[in-house]
Structure formats: C-alpha cells, structure tokens
C-alpha cells in the first residue's frame, strides 16, 4: 500500500513534547510499516526556543510563533501539550477553527471545558483525541469506548494518580511520613510542579470526569464528583488498617449508585429477579467520588504499587476487566499521544468522535447520587482517654446512629496524654449517619482529637468458580 504522509504540529515542547518528538522521529519507519502512514513532525511551537532539550529537532522546526502551525494547511493534526486551562483552551479552539484535528493529554482542560471544546470540534467538522489524558500509557479510553462497547458499564475503580499511589505505597512499605514520601515523589518527577492537584484528589477527579462520561454516556461536570485527598492521611492509620486486612489507595470511583447500596456484586453472581429489577430501576443513578479507600489486601488493585496506575471495570457482559500500566512519564504518555495521532490520521478518531453521544449536562443533575446517600463501610479511629467506660460510650454513639460495628482494634498505651487509639470498622452504613455519629463522638470529653474516618470499599472480584 502506498504511504500517506501525515504532518503533525506540536504546541508545548516540555517533557512529554520531547517524548512525542522522539517517538515520531525514531519510530517513523516502524509506524509506516504497520500503518502505511508516514508521520512527519512539521512544526513545534514553544515560548522557549533556547533551552537545551532531550531531543534534537531539524533546523527550522522549533518556533515561538503559533501562526506557523495555524496557517499551514498541510498540517492536519495539532497536539496541545501546554497543560493548564487558560492558554491551552485558546490554543485548542484556534487549532480546531484552523481546521486541524486536536490530540491532547490535558485532563484538567477536558474535565472543565471538554463540552465546549467538543462542540467547537463538531461545529468545525474536526475531532479531539484524548487517550493520554487518563492513566498515561494505558489505553483505557479506547478500551472503554471500543473494547467494551457492547457492555453497560456498571462500575469502575481506578488508581489514576501515580503521585498519590507512590506516596501511599511508600508510607505503607517503608513506613515513611507523608511529607517525606511526597518529597521523594517530587524528586522522581511523578508529581506535577505544583503537587496540590495530585494530593488533594483534583487530578484524579479530572480523570474520573473524563472516564465516567465515556463509560456512562453523560456530560459529567467536576461538581458532580465528591473529592477528598490524601493530605491528612497518617501512617498510623495505614498501619492499623493493615492489621485489619486492608491496604490504603486513593480511588476514583464511578458506580451505578443503587448498585453500591444494594448489589455490591455488580451482577457478577446476582441473578435474582429482585436484583435485576433493582438494577433496572436504578440504572440512571451514578455515584462519582475520589477518596482514600481501604480495600482488601487480596484485591488485585491492592498489589498496584508505586507510580503505577490501574483501573478495574465491571461490564454487564464481560464481568471484570483490569487495565494496568504506567500512568505518567515522558514515554508512556507519548505512547498514548502517538497512538491518537495514528488513529486520527487513519480516520478512526473522527468516526468514534462523531458517535460519542453524551447526554447533555442539563439532563444529568438529578442523576448524580449525593455523597450523603452513599452506603459503604467505614474505618473510624478515635484517640480516647484510657479510662473505664470509654469503649462503651463509643459503642453507644454508634448504636444511636444505627451503625453496626464489624471489627475493633485497640493498642495499649500508644497515644500522648494517656490516650489510646480506638479503631472500629463498620458494616455498610449510610454516609449521613456516620457524619452525624462523628459529630457526636467529637463532642465527648473522653475523645481527645478529631475522629479519623476513612471509607472501606469492598470491591468485588470476578474469580474462577
């Protein structure tokens, strides 16, 4: 088959930009042999044209003038790698209006302005490809959109921020404190320059907004997602949770809400008439949340360590599917971007983009389950005065809120000022009841610091037999 030349322009020549330039240059022959497409890097735009880079470009390719890319009609694809939401949005709009298809890794921009950008792309007859925006090199978006197209997606549980996973892994296995683990993650380049969005769960929420919209078929707004980060996690809780059989992960969770409450098997084993009716009635209720989660140590996601990402998805036909790999970094992200460039050039992206039918935002407001209605299990730690009757008081407050204890742990004389850590785990309970109980516990003069509360997420596993 005759080769087709495809000219590509990059905007942003940082770490990922260098990776994309390297792949396009070094793998051009291999890509041509596989696809009949001859990728050519025609133009790279960056405000900094002087600093030395990891990749050497041919003379005349690097410029600080974006019009060189916008005005060149022979360049079909513009790759936006600027990051952030202000300049990047204007760049993407200009690329689309100039008749170029857009490839991007910009999760924050898509999560905040994705709907507006998609409308602009449709209006201009172009497409936006964004595989690299979620979970770096893992082909999760095409996995959901294409590989799982025949399924109703019932739930997804993702470790989608490498920085948080690295920090929690190190706090678990090396007994490091949070600041020590964070500074190590920054040194290794996993965290963004400003790690706030990594550790406060914002980055995971951006990725969940994108993944959930694809999986559930709705325009999702960031406000739909409940977000809690890992900034206040202490290694003591990781340790106590570990003793009770749990491993701590920051999870991004998208679930059909009533399934969370009434059908935690996601239909893997549940075939009763009642369960089927419940699923049908609840189809349109979705719970979207990012929070630290204790999961069983023998769950497959518990073995995802360090900066790796993984997403476990439950589909109506396929059961459980798990995607695993590097969620960040120069070459894994470049791998996803160049895959998108190829898909755009082959015409596949335009087709899938045209058929990406997301129900409009104004139809979704009532469909998002409020966090107060979440039914899950909880880990609660109290620093209690070591004196008679305290455990009974705690039990009484929980009982008054109809919360049933499923496990308990207390170590002798560990806390400051004659306090002991009292840890209880609960049976499935509504979040609003636990919030009320925590307020009451906090008022007891035998409880000496704010109660710590971490959700326990019982992720089902699709197993043989």
Least spacing, CB of residue 190 vs ligand HSE, in Å: 5
Residue 106, interface with ligand HSE (CB under 6 A)?
Answer: no
The correct pick among 17, 327, 428, 460 for binding ligand HSE (CB under 6 A) is: 327
Q: CB-wise, 190 or 246, nearer to ligand HSE? A: 190
Q: What is the dihedral of CA 398, 402, 408, 412, to 10 degrees?
A: 10
Of 37, 38, 64, give the one whose Cα is nearest residue 49.
Answer: 64
* Catalytic residue list: 207
For ligand HSE, the closer of residues 101 and 198 by Cβ is: 198
* Contacts of 16 by beta carbon, 8 Å cutoff, 6+ apart: 81, 105, 132, 330, 333, 334, 337
| Cα torsion through 314, 320, 321, 323, rounded to 10 | 80
Q: Does 198 help bind ligand HSE (rule: CB under 6 A)?
A: yes
Q: Closest separation between CB of residue 133 and ligand HSE, Å?
A: 8
Nearer to ligand HSE, 162 or 451 (CB): 162
Quote the least distance from Cβ 215 to ligand HSE, whole Å: 18
DSSP for 428-455, written as a single string: SEEHHHHHHHHHHHHH-TTB-SPPEEEE
- Among residues 162, 292, 428, 460, the one that binds ligand HSE under rule CB under 6 A: 162
Q: Does 131 bind ligand HSE (CB under 6 A)?
A: no
Handedness of CA 396, 400, 404, 405 (dihedral sign): negative
In sign, the C-alpha dihedral spanning 209, 142, 257, 424 is negative
* Closer residue to ligand HSE in complex, CB, 190/379: 190
Of 17 and 428, nearer to ligand HSE (C-beta) is 17
Is residue 21 part of the contact set for ligand HSE (CB under 6 A)? Answer: no
Secondary structure class of 56 (helix, strand, coil): coil
- DSSP helix/strand/coil, 172: helix
Piece of the chain touching ligand HSE by CB under 6 A; list 68-76, 150-158, 160-168, 312-320: 160-168
CA separation for the pair 143, 150 (Å, rounded): 12
Using CB under 6 A, pick the residue from 76, 104, 142, 161 that binds ligand HSE: 161
Looking at residue 57, the DSSP 8-state letter turns out to be P
Single residue of 13, 157, 190, 226 touching ligand HSE by CB under 6 A: 190
Please state the closest distance from residue 163 (CB atom) to ligand HSE, in A: 3
CB of residue 181 to ligand HSE, shortest distance in Å: 13
Q: Which helix (H) or strand (E) holds 17?
A: helix 15-26
CB-nearer residue toward ligand HSE: 291 or 381: 291
Applying CB under 6 A, among 27, 40, 152, 192 the residue interacting with ligand HSE is 192
C-alpha to C-alpha distances, 240 to 18, 183, 441, 454, nearest whole angstrom: 44, 24, 20, 12
Judged by CB under 6 A, the number of residues near ligand HSE is 11
Per rule CB under 6 A, is residue 328 in the interface with ligand HSE?
A: yes
191 contacts ligand HSE (rule: CB under 6 A):
yes
Q: Does residue 456 bind ligand HSE (CB under 6 A)?
A: no
Taking the least distance from each CB to ligand HSE, the nearer of 192 and 219 is 192
Per the CB < 8 A criterion, the answer to whether 39 and 28 are in contact is: yes
CB of 380 to ligand HSE, least distance (A): 29
Judged by CB under 6 A, which stretch of 81-89, 120-128, 167-175, 184-192 contacts ligand HSE? 184-192
H/E element, 37: strand 37-45
Q: In this complex, which beta carbon is closest to ligand HSE, that of residue 161 or of residue 320?
A: 161
Q: Which of 92, 142, 163, 419 binds ligand HSE (CB under 6 A)?
A: 163
Options 185-193, 222-230, 273-281, 318-326: segment touching ligand HSE (CB under 6 A): 185-193
Q: Identify whether the C-beta of residue 293 lies closer than 8 Å to the C-beta of residue 246.
A: no
- Give the interface segment with ligand HSE, choosing from 74-82, 161-169, 280-288, 413-421 (CB under 6 A): 161-169
Angle between helix axes 15-26 and 28-35 (nearest 10 degrees) is: 60
Determine phi and psi for 17, rounding to 5 degrees: -55, -40
Q: How far apart are CA 278 and CA 259, in angstroms?
A: 8
Q: How far apart are alpha carbons 198 and 63 in whole angstroms?
A: 31
User: What does 372-401 look like in DSSP terms, one character per residue?
Assistant: GG-EEEEEEEEEEESSTTHHHHHHHHHHHT
List of residues contacting ligand HSE (CB under 6 A): 136, 161-163, 190-192, 198, 203, 327-328
């Amino acid at each position: 088959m005759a080769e087709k030349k495809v000219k590509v322009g990059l905007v942003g020549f940082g770490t990922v930009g260098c990776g994309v330039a390297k792949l396009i240059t070094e793998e051009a022959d291999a890509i041509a042999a596989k696809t009949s497409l001859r990728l050519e890097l025609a133009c790279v735009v960056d405000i900094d044209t002087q600093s030395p880079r990891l990749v050497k470009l041919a003379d005349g390719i690097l410029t600080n003038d974006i019009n060189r890319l916008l005005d060149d009609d022979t360049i079909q694809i513009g790759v936006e790698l600027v990051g952030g939401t202000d300049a990047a949005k204007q760049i993407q709009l200009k690329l689309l209006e100039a008749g170029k298809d857009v490839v991007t890794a910009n999760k924050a921009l898509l999560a905040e302005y994705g709907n507006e950008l998609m409308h602009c792309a449709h209006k201009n007859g172009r497409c936006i490809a964004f595989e690299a925006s979620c979970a770096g090199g893992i082909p999760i978006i095409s996995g959901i959109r294409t590989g799982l197209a025949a399924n109703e997606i019932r739930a997804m549980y993702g470790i989608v921020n490498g920085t948080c996973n690295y920090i929690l892994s190190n706090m678990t296995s090396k007994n490091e404190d949070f600041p020590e683990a964070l500074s190590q993650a920054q040194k290794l380049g996993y965290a963004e320059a400003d790690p706030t969005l990594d550790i406060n769960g914002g980055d995971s929420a951006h990725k969940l907004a994108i993944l959930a919209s694809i999986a559930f078929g709705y325009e999702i707004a960031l406000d739909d997602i409940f977000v809690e980060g890992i900034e206040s996690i202490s290694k003591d809780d990781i340790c106590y949770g570990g003793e009770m059989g749990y491993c701590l992960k920051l999870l991004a969770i998208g679930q059909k809400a009533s399934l969370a409450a009434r059908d935690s098997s996601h239909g893997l084993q549940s075939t009763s008439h009642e369960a089927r009716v419940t699923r049908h009635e609840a189809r349109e209720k979705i719970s979207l949340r990012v929070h630290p989660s204790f999961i069983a140590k023998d769950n497959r996601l518990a073995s995802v360590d360090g900066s790796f990402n993984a997403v476990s998805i439950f589909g109506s036909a396929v059961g459980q599917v798990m995607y695993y790999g590097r969620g960040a970094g120069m070459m894994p992200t470049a791998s996803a971007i160049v895959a998108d460039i190829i898909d755009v050039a082959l015409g596949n992206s335009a087709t899938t983009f045209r058929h990406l039918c997301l129900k409009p935002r104004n139809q979704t407001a009532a469909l998002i389950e409020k966090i107060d209605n979440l039914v899950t299990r909880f880990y609660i730690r109290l620093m209690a005065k070591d004196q008679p009757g305290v455990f009974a008081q705690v039990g009484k407050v929980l009982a008054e809120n109809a919360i049933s204890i499923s496990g308990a742990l207390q170590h002798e004389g560990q806390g400051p000022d004659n306090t002991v850590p009292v840890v209880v785990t609960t049976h499935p309970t509504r979040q609003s009841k636990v919030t009320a109980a925590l307020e009451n516990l906090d008022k007891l003069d035998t409880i000496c610091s704010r109660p710590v509360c971490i959700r326990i997420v019982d992720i089902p596993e699709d197993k043989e037999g």
